[in-house]
Amino acid sequence: MNSSELLLHPVRLRIVQAFLGDRTLTTAQLAEELSDVPTATLYRHVSLLSNAGVLEVVSERRVRGGVERTLALRVDAARVTPDELATLSTEQHAAMFRAYIAHLLTAFDEYLAAGAPDLVADGAGYSMSGLWLSDAEFAELGAELGQVFASRIGNTPTDDRRLRMFASVVIPQDVPRNEG
């Protein structure tokens, strides 16, 4: 199974995203977070991700005669490579994008359902901007954003930190220019 098939199954995508932010979880904790996923299904998908090296066991402890494993995400293994992306068909890209958007919808619905949301106070939001950029300017913007994220990616959880999920979509557009 290639990375895109492995990672972009709706349940496996949700599992991977549950571990984002350098989280470690037991399968029981994961099952609580993904309570709508049947236990047998969840364990099957965790096993697939573990066997593929996407999830790794970071600790084990004995619990009532069994072994409870704490898992972590291997971020480097949870990516679809540019070479693999280049081999995907239009239909496969569309399926990947739908899975991505479906997860965003689910995550936002969960945020809204968790209580009385205050998007401003919570720092939540969504927006779309159009930027006229040459290929060089776009590459420069990507490098700048990479630096901004790299300066924070190593943050660890503390009492005053909240996990904030960032998602991005870049879609090139061929539109007529308003020449003035």
Has residue 139 got a pLDDT over 90?
Answer: yes
Over residues 102-123, mean pLDDT: 87
Has residue 180 got a pLDDT over 80?
Answer: no
| Beta carbons of 24 and 69 less than 8 angstroms apart | no
| Beta carbons of 14 and 37 less than 8 angstroms apart | yes
Q: Helix, strand or coil for residue 118?
A: coil
Has residue 143 got a pLDDT over 80?
Answer: yes
Residue 28: pLDDT band (50, 70, 90) is very high
Residue 49: what pLDDT?
95
Nearest residue to 18 (alpha-carbon basis) of 157, 165, 126: 165
Greater confidence (160 vs 102) lies with: 160
| Beta carbons of 41 and 11 less than 8 angstroms apart | yes
Q: What is the CATH number of domain 3-150?
A: 1.10.10.10
| Beta carbons of 74 and 38 less than 8 angstroms apart | no
Over residues 138-163, mean pLDDT: 91
Sketch the domain layout of the chain as residue ranges.
3-150
Nearest residue to 57 (alpha-carbon basis) of 94, 105, 25: 25
pTM for the model:
0.69
Has residue 177 got a pLDDT over 80?
Answer: no
Q: CA of 167: how far to CAs of 68, 77, 158, in Å?
A: 32, 19, 22
